[in-house]
Amino acid sequence: MASSSEAATANSEGHAAEGAERRDFLKMVTLATAAVGVCAVAWPFIDSMNPAKDTIAAGSPIDVDLSQVAPGQQIVVLWREKPILLVNRPAEALKTLQSSAMINRLRDPDSRVLQQPPYADNWHRSVKPEWAVLVGICTHLGCLPQYFPNPSANTPVADWPGGYLCPCHGSKYDLAGRVWQGVPAPFNLPVPPYNFLDARTVRIGENPPNVTYSLNDIVQI
Amino acid sequence: MAELGLQENEFKNPVVHWIDARLPVFTAMHKEYRQFPTPKNFNYFWNFGALATVNLAIMIITGIFLAMNYNPSTAGAFDSVERIMRDVNWGWMIRYLHVVGASLFFVTVYVHIFRGLYYGSYKKPREMIWMLGVVLLLLLMATAFMGYVLPWGQMSFWGATVITNLFGAIPVVGHGIVTWLWGGFAVANPTLNRFFSLHYLLPFIIVGFLVLHIMALHTVGSNNPLGIDVKGPQDTLPFHPYYTVKDSVGVCVYLIVFAILVFFIPHQPLLMDPNNSIQANPLQTPSDIVPEWYFLPFYAILRSVPNKLGGVVLLFGSIFVLFFLPWLDTSPVRSCRFRPIMRWLWVLFVIDVFVLGYVGANRPVGIFILLGRIATVWYYIHMLIFLPLVGKLERPLPLPESISKSVLGGGALPSAAAARPMEKA
């Protein structure tokens, strides 16, 4: 102790400055190492909050049998904890989707906003015109829009052409999940990835061959 | 500066200055962790308080993340722990950190306690620090016990059954207390739920008592390996950077040990009993019920008494007697370096606790019954007879004049000058 402190006082000023620089360098290397270590340790904890392997496995594609769904009927299945709406749209409903009266009411009639896979980027927003496959979650604040398929003069609202009405804040969609103008919801209902295994069976969660699309790609779920 | 009742401070950073004038946390940190005068002769045994604190932080952080995926019900607990091990990202690592951390927590705390015993850290004026430390030990034991029940393996269930049944030994009200602890007629879902609730709560109570423990320490100052009082600034160093750096060295070594255990031998039976990888079964008791290693000495005391109530009383008494240590030890000399008899009795006491641990790990048959009884009696003789008596009979070695002289090679005074140090103290 004593001899080293004597040596320190005996140093010229130049040596002292050199020592100080060395000390700063060591200090910064130590701090940098500690910072890298903290980040390396923090990552596993942050990553542990991501979906676990079994949660991801539980989100695998599911097959739905459509053979019992009558024209005009909607069935709802859960895929990745989300309600997936499957509707057998009758011919009159498809006609309404293409009518200018309907299209004039819509915010995004041509599905310009990415809310659907490329194979559903068409006037019926689906693979087959009669089968609608939609994520039934309002793009406003996440409520579940209700299914009112039939045109009506007063139910649920006056001059109703058929479609979806969100009970929370009155957002309206047509039977292709396209959002109306003048309602709080900003975007069309999302379309999940799906493909038809045969005429009667749809697989939700899997694209047709050679297409990559997932709900992570869309503007808003 | 002292306008409008603002706190004066000398921090240059304007934000720090502004905050400190209104809430003097930076002044407090500066005083307690930078300037805090610390005896300059600490050895590495003085690292273990800091290590235990780091360990507490690791346990709280890993515990919070485990709780995110744990299901506190008898139907789901075991499966949810297996899910953590297999499916949750990094779940295996977080759980092993928590498991190994539990054992290392006791290692650091036990070394910390035996260091205090050897260097007389419990003596005046540090009685309060010591007693708060005993409270911390009790809280740690309760937390560890309840945490061990949560994975709902065989040892969880049967350990909980045995330990809660200890309270049944209390006369008259015992059975009522046990039923109350269980919230039912056996260790079952209500028990698991409350243990989870309390296991999450107690660490924060520990943090509270730790703050008091450190406040008491910073009131009277640290003891040191010589056990003599600090006589002035020449005997001390500022806590930072001298002891922050010395503690950092210890923390690095300790983290290396931690990592080796977590990544290479987490299934060492001392860390994880294989029986606890079998789901709890209330219809089948494992052939040997053994608590975790850190409870073995107390378990040995319990089993060495052939009477249920007697065993329970001696078990709890072995910890509660620590509260009275500052008054049981009558010697005015703190450090066993200068206590030629007590230092060897201290060594024997450490051996005695290891013997108790060894006995606790074995079935109570043959030699282990006798060994357990001798070791139990020795434990109490040390506490209740040796400490009061040796303090009066022993002739201590001459104490050094000051910490500074001792560190810088001044050495002890001639024995004549230091005669009768007991009277000086």
pLDDT recorded at residue B266:
94
Q: Given an 8 Å threshold on Cβ–Cβ distance, is A52 in contact with B68?
A: no
> CB B68 to CB A49 under 8 A?
yes
Confidence (pTM): 0.86
- Is residue B280 included in any domain, yes or no? no
The verdict on ipTM greater than 0.85 is no
* Distance from C-alpha of B33 to C-alpha of B27, rounded to nearest angstrom: 10
What's the rounded Cα separation, in Å, for the pair A141 and A143? 6
Is the model's pLDDT at B423 over the cut of 80? no
Q: Is B175 one of the annotated active-site residues of the chain?
A: no
Taking the C-alpha atoms of residue B108 and residue B250, their distance in angstroms, rounded to an integer, is 11
Minimum mean pLDDT range among A80-89, B7-16, B228-237, B409-418: B409-418
- For A:1-60, CB contacts with B below 8 A are 1-2, 44-45, 47-50, 52-55
Give yes or no for a contact between A115 and A191, defined as CB atoms under 8 angstroms apart.
yes
The span from the CA of B87 to the CA of B44, in Å, is: 41
Q: Which residues of chain A does B88 touch, with a Cβ-Cβ cutoff of 8 Å? A: 48, 52-53
Q: How many residue contacts between A and B have a Cβ separation below 8 Å?
A: 37
Is B284 inside any structural domain? no
Assess if residue B165 is contained within a domain: yes
Q: Which of B92, B148, B67, B104 is nearest to B263 (CA)?
A: B92
In tens, the pLDDT along A37-76 reads: 999 999 999 999 999 999 999 999 999 999 999 999 999 9
Which residues of A are less than 8 Å from B89 in CB distance? 44, 47-48, 50, 52-53
pLDDT of residue B408: 82
Specify whether B374 is located in the same domain as B312.
yes
B252 shares its domain with B297: no
**Cβ of A48 and B91 within 8 Å?**
yes
Residue B419: CB partners within 8 Å, gap ≥ 6?
B398
Question: Chain B 51-70, CB below 8 Å of chain A: which residues?
Answer: 61, 65, 68-69
Q: What residues are paired with A106 via a beta bridge?
A: A180
* Whole-number Å distance between alpha carbons of B26 and B16: 7
- Which positions ≥6 away from A173 have C-beta within 8 Å? A145, A163, A164, A165, A166, A179, A180, A185, A188, A189
CB contacts, 8 Å: A53 with chain B? 86-89
Which among B273, B301, B323 is the end of a domain? B273
Check whether residue B341 and residue B199 sit in a common domain: no
How many structural domains comprise chain B? 4
Residue among A3, A45, A50 with most chain B CBs within 10 A, to mutate: A45
**Residue given tokens 């969609």 in the structure block:** A173
- To the query of whether residue B246 is one of the catalytic residues in this protein, the response is yes
Average pLDDT, chain B: 93
Yes or no, beta carbons of B94 and A47 under 8 Å apart: no
Residues B382 and B407 in one domain: no
| B414 belongs to a structural domain | yes
Q: Is B240 a catalytic residue?
A: no
Point out the residue among B65, B87, B94 whose CB comes nearest to the CB of A52.
B87
| Torsion of Cα atoms, A128 then A130 then A133 then A137, to 10° | 140
B101 and B215 part of one domain = yes
Q: What CATH number corresponds to the domain at position B234?
A: 1.20.810.10
Work out the number of other CB atoms within 10 angstroms of the CB of residue B98. Answer: 20
* Boundary of a domain, candidates B273, B307, B340: B273
| Least confident piece of the model among A190-194, B26-30, B284-288 | B284-288
Active site (annotated) includes residue B277: no
Residue B38: phi and psi, rounded to 5, are: -120, 135
Regarding whether B106 and B236 lie in a shared domain, the answer is: yes
Which of B156, B246, B352, B404 is catalytic? The answer is B246
Q: What is the pLDDT of residue A17?
A: 59
B118 with B240, same domain: the answer is yes
Q: Which domain holds residue B267?
A: 42-273
Q: Is residue B283 in some structural domain?
A: no
pLDDT, tens digit (0-9, with 9 covering 90-100), for B191-218? 999 999 999 999 999 999 999 999 999 9
